[in-house]
Amino acid sequence: MEAFLISTGIVALAEMGDKTQLLSLVLAARFRKPWPIVWGILVATLANHALAGGLGAWVTSLMGPTVLRWVLGVSFLAMAAWMLVPDKLDDDDADVQPKFGVFGTTVIAFFLAEMGDKTQIATVMLAAEYQSWLWVVAGTTLGMMLANAPVVWFGERITRLVPLTWVHRISAAVFVVLGLLVLFGTEAPETHGKPHGAAEQVAVPSEPAPAVTAPAASSAPLIAASSVFQRSSW
Protein backbone atom coordinates (compact mmCIF):
# COMPACT_ATOMS: atom_id res chain seq x y z
CA MET A 1 0.00 0.00 0.00
CA GLU A 2 2.92 2.36 0.65
CA ALA A 3 4.11 1.89 -2.94
CA PHE A 4 0.60 2.69 -4.22
CA LEU A 5 0.16 5.87 -2.18
CA ILE A 6 3.64 7.27 -2.84
CA SER A 7 3.39 6.48 -6.56
CA THR A 8 0.01 8.19 -6.78
CA GLY A 9 1.16 11.33 -4.98
CA ILE A 10 4.47 11.69 -6.81
CA VAL A 11 3.04 11.24 -10.30
CA ALA A 12 0.05 13.50 -9.62
CA LEU A 13 2.44 16.28 -8.57
CA ALA A 14 4.94 15.60 -11.35
CA GLU A 15 2.22 15.63 -14.00
CA MET A 16 1.08 19.16 -13.18
CA GLY A 17 2.32 21.37 -16.01
CA ASP A 18 3.91 18.38 -17.76
CA LYS A 19 3.77 18.05 -21.53
CA THR A 20 1.26 15.21 -21.35
CA GLN A 21 -1.05 17.45 -19.34
CA LEU A 22 -0.59 20.12 -22.00
CA LEU A 23 -1.46 17.46 -24.58
CA SER A 24 -4.67 16.78 -22.66
CA LEU A 25 -5.53 20.47 -23.00
CA VAL A 26 -4.88 20.34 -26.75
CA LEU A 27 -6.99 17.21 -27.22
CA ALA A 28 -9.87 18.61 -25.17
CA ALA A 29 -9.84 21.92 -27.08
CA ARG A 30 -9.63 20.25 -30.48
CA PHE A 31 -12.12 17.41 -30.17
CA ARG A 32 -14.44 18.62 -27.38
CA LYS A 33 -15.39 15.04 -26.53
CA PRO A 34 -14.16 14.47 -22.97
CA TRP A 35 -15.20 10.85 -22.42
CA PRO A 36 -13.25 9.29 -25.35
CA ILE A 37 -10.25 11.45 -24.42
CA VAL A 38 -10.33 10.37 -20.77
CA TRP A 39 -10.64 6.68 -21.71
CA GLY A 40 -7.85 7.08 -24.24
CA ILE A 41 -5.58 8.63 -21.61
CA LEU A 42 -6.35 5.75 -19.24
CA VAL A 43 -5.56 3.04 -21.80
CA ALA A 44 -2.37 4.78 -22.98
CA THR A 45 -1.18 5.31 -19.41
CA LEU A 46 -1.83 1.70 -18.40
CA ALA A 47 0.08 0.38 -21.40
CA ASN A 48 2.98 2.80 -21.03
CA HIS A 49 3.39 2.48 -17.29
CA ALA A 50 3.00 -1.30 -17.38
CA LEU A 51 6.04 -1.43 -19.66
CA ALA A 52 7.90 1.08 -17.49
CA GLY A 53 7.12 -0.87 -14.32
CA GLY A 54 8.27 -4.09 -15.95
CA LEU A 55 11.52 -2.40 -16.95
CA GLY A 56 12.06 -1.23 -13.39
CA ALA A 57 11.45 -4.72 -12.00
CA TRP A 58 13.84 -6.18 -14.59
CA VAL A 59 16.58 -3.70 -13.70
CA THR A 60 16.59 -4.95 -10.11
CA SER A 61 17.54 -8.43 -11.31
CA LEU A 62 20.63 -7.10 -13.10
CA MET A 63 22.22 -5.13 -10.28
CA GLY A 64 23.43 -5.98 -6.84
CA PRO A 65 21.89 -4.27 -3.80
CA THR A 66 24.71 -1.74 -3.40
CA VAL A 67 24.85 -0.72 -7.07
CA LEU A 68 21.05 -0.53 -7.27
CA ARG A 69 20.92 1.68 -4.18
CA TRP A 70 23.33 4.21 -5.65
CA VAL A 71 21.72 4.16 -9.09
CA LEU A 72 18.26 4.75 -7.64
CA GLY A 73 19.42 7.36 -5.15
CA VAL A 74 21.25 9.43 -7.77
CA SER A 75 18.32 9.00 -10.20
CA PHE A 76 15.84 10.34 -7.64
CA LEU A 77 18.07 13.37 -7.02
CA ALA A 78 18.42 13.97 -10.76
CA MET A 79 14.63 13.72 -11.11
CA ALA A 80 14.29 16.38 -8.41
CA ALA A 81 16.40 18.77 -10.49
CA TRP A 82 14.43 17.88 -13.63
CA MET A 83 11.15 18.71 -11.88
CA LEU A 84 12.23 22.36 -11.63
CA VAL A 85 12.61 22.65 -15.41
CA PRO A 86 9.38 23.91 -17.08
CA ASP A 87 8.00 21.53 -19.67
CA LYS A 88 6.57 22.39 -23.06
CA LEU A 89 4.67 20.54 -25.75
CA ASP A 90 6.53 19.73 -28.95
CA ASP A 91 5.06 20.82 -32.26
CA ASP A 92 4.74 17.22 -33.40
CA ASP A 93 2.78 16.31 -30.27
CA ALA A 94 0.53 19.33 -30.61
CA ASP A 95 -0.30 18.57 -34.25
CA VAL A 96 -2.92 15.92 -33.54
CA GLN A 97 -5.01 14.68 -36.46
CA PRO A 98 -8.09 12.50 -35.79
CA LYS A 99 -7.04 9.71 -38.17
CA PHE A 100 -8.18 6.93 -35.82
CA GLY A 101 -11.12 8.62 -34.15
CA VAL A 102 -10.97 10.58 -30.89
CA PHE A 103 -10.26 7.54 -28.70
CA GLY A 104 -7.64 5.94 -30.97
CA THR A 105 -5.90 9.26 -31.65
CA THR A 106 -5.74 10.00 -27.91
CA VAL A 107 -4.26 6.57 -27.14
CA ILE A 108 -1.54 6.89 -29.78
CA ALA A 109 -0.70 10.54 -29.09
CA PHE A 110 -0.62 10.12 -25.32
CA PHE A 111 1.40 6.90 -25.44
CA LEU A 112 4.06 8.48 -27.67
CA ALA A 113 4.16 11.71 -25.65
CA GLU A 114 4.71 9.72 -22.46
CA MET A 115 7.79 7.95 -23.85
CA GLY A 116 10.81 9.30 -21.99
CA ASP A 117 8.65 11.68 -19.99
CA LYS A 118 9.15 12.49 -16.32
CA THR A 119 6.29 10.35 -15.13
CA GLN A 120 7.46 7.35 -17.16
CA ILE A 121 10.98 7.62 -15.75
CA ALA A 122 9.52 8.03 -12.27
CA THR A 123 7.50 4.82 -12.79
CA VAL A 124 10.66 2.92 -13.71
CA MET A 125 12.45 4.15 -10.58
CA LEU A 126 9.51 3.54 -8.25
CA ALA A 127 9.06 -0.01 -9.56
CA ALA A 128 12.76 -0.67 -9.00
CA GLU A 129 12.65 0.84 -5.52
CA TYR A 130 9.53 -0.87 -4.16
CA GLN A 131 9.70 -4.04 -6.29
CA SER A 132 5.92 -4.08 -6.45
CA TRP A 133 4.91 -3.86 -10.10
CA LEU A 134 1.15 -3.97 -9.59
CA TRP A 135 0.91 -1.34 -6.85
CA VAL A 136 3.34 1.03 -8.54
CA VAL A 137 1.59 0.85 -11.92
CA ALA A 138 -1.81 1.26 -10.26
CA GLY A 139 -0.57 4.25 -8.28
CA THR A 140 1.14 6.03 -11.18
CA THR A 141 -1.89 5.46 -13.40
CA LEU A 142 -4.22 6.92 -10.77
CA GLY A 143 -1.88 9.88 -10.36
CA MET A 144 -1.96 10.52 -14.10
CA MET A 145 -5.76 10.41 -14.16
CA LEU A 146 -6.05 12.74 -11.16
CA ALA A 147 -3.89 15.29 -12.96
CA ASN A 148 -5.27 14.94 -16.49
CA ALA A 149 -8.97 14.09 -16.24
CA PRO A 150 -9.94 17.42 -14.60
CA VAL A 151 -8.02 19.25 -17.33
CA VAL A 152 -10.04 17.46 -20.00
CA TRP A 153 -13.30 18.35 -18.28
CA PHE A 154 -12.60 21.89 -17.12
CA GLY A 155 -9.82 23.01 -19.42
CA GLU A 156 -7.13 25.55 -18.63
CA ARG A 157 -9.07 26.90 -15.64
CA ILE A 158 -7.67 24.02 -13.54
CA THR A 159 -4.06 24.86 -14.31
CA ARG A 160 -4.68 28.51 -13.48
CA LEU A 161 -6.00 27.62 -10.05
CA VAL A 162 -2.93 25.53 -9.19
CA PRO A 163 0.37 27.32 -8.46
CA LEU A 164 2.57 25.24 -10.75
CA THR A 165 5.82 26.71 -9.43
CA TRP A 166 5.09 25.54 -5.90
CA VAL A 167 3.78 22.20 -7.13
CA HIS A 168 7.06 21.61 -8.96
CA ARG A 169 9.04 22.63 -5.89
CA ILE A 170 7.08 20.26 -3.66
CA SER A 171 7.49 17.36 -6.07
CA ALA A 172 11.22 18.12 -6.34
CA ALA A 173 11.47 18.07 -2.55
CA VAL A 174 9.72 14.69 -2.45
CA PHE A 175 12.23 13.26 -4.93
CA VAL A 176 15.11 14.67 -2.86
CA VAL A 177 13.76 12.97 0.26
CA LEU A 178 13.34 9.67 -1.60
CA GLY A 179 16.87 9.91 -2.97
CA LEU A 180 18.37 10.57 0.45
CA LEU A 181 16.38 7.76 2.03
CA VAL A 182 17.56 5.34 -0.64
CA LEU A 183 21.19 6.41 -0.29
CA PHE A 184 21.46 6.73 3.47
CA GLY A 185 18.46 4.87 4.84
CA THR A 186 18.79 1.80 7.00
CA GLU A 187 18.87 -1.53 5.26
CA ALA A 188 17.48 -4.80 6.36
CA PRO A 189 20.13 -7.36 7.34
CA GLU A 190 21.06 -9.78 4.62
CA THR A 191 20.16 -13.43 4.86
CA HIS A 192 23.45 -14.60 3.29
CA GLY A 193 21.88 -16.99 0.85
CA LYS A 194 19.10 -18.20 3.11
CA PRO A 195 15.55 -18.08 1.83
CA HIS A 196 13.84 -14.80 2.69
CA GLY A 197 11.70 -15.16 5.78
CA ALA A 198 13.06 -18.57 6.66
CA ALA A 199 13.57 -19.05 10.36
CA GLU A 200 17.09 -19.73 11.42
CA GLN A 201 17.47 -23.22 12.71
CA VAL A 202 19.43 -23.53 15.94
CA ALA A 203 21.00 -26.87 16.68
CA VAL A 204 19.91 -27.96 20.13
CA PRO A 205 22.30 -30.45 21.69
CA SER A 206 20.49 -33.61 22.55
CA GLU A 207 20.74 -34.86 26.07
CA PRO A 208 22.71 -38.07 26.49
CA ALA A 209 20.51 -41.05 26.74
CA PRO A 210 20.44 -42.55 30.20
CA ALA A 211 22.74 -45.48 30.55
CA VAL A 212 20.85 -48.72 30.50
CA THR A 213 22.35 -51.30 32.85
CA ALA A 214 21.63 -54.91 32.35
CA PRO A 215 19.66 -56.35 35.24
CA ALA A 216 21.87 -58.21 37.63
CA ALA A 217 21.49 -61.95 37.61
CA SER A 218 19.21 -63.10 40.35
CA SER A 219 21.10 -64.48 43.38
CA ALA A 220 18.15 -66.55 44.55
CA PRO A 221 19.50 -69.89 43.18
CA LEU A 222 22.84 -69.38 44.92
CA ILE A 223 21.16 -68.66 48.25
CA ALA A 224 18.97 -71.73 47.90
CA ALA A 225 21.96 -73.94 47.07
CA SER A 226 23.85 -72.65 50.10
CA SER A 227 20.92 -73.48 52.38
CA VAL A 228 20.72 -77.03 51.09
CA PHE A 229 24.46 -77.52 51.60
CA GLN A 230 24.29 -76.28 55.18
CA ARG A 231 21.37 -78.62 56.03
CA SER A 232 23.18 -81.59 54.57
CA SER A 233 26.21 -80.84 56.69
CA TRP A 234 24.10 -80.96 59.81
**Domain extents in the chain:** 2-184
- What pLDDT does residue 31 have? 86
pLDDT in tens, 88-110: 766 555 566 667 889 999 999 99
Q: Out of 39-53, 92-106, 118-132, 182-196, pick the least confident.
A: 182-196
Q: Which of 144, 132, 125, 153 has its CA nearest to residue 47?
A: 144
DSSP letters, 157-189, are HHHHHS-HHHHHHHHHHHHHHHHHHHHHS--PP
pLDDT in tens, 127-150: 999 989 999 999 999 999 999 999
How far is Cα 82 from Cα 196, in angstroms, rounded to an integer? 37
φ, ψ (nearest 5 deg) of residue 195 = -60, 140
pLDDT in tens, 146-176: 999 999 998 777 767 778 788 889 999 999 9
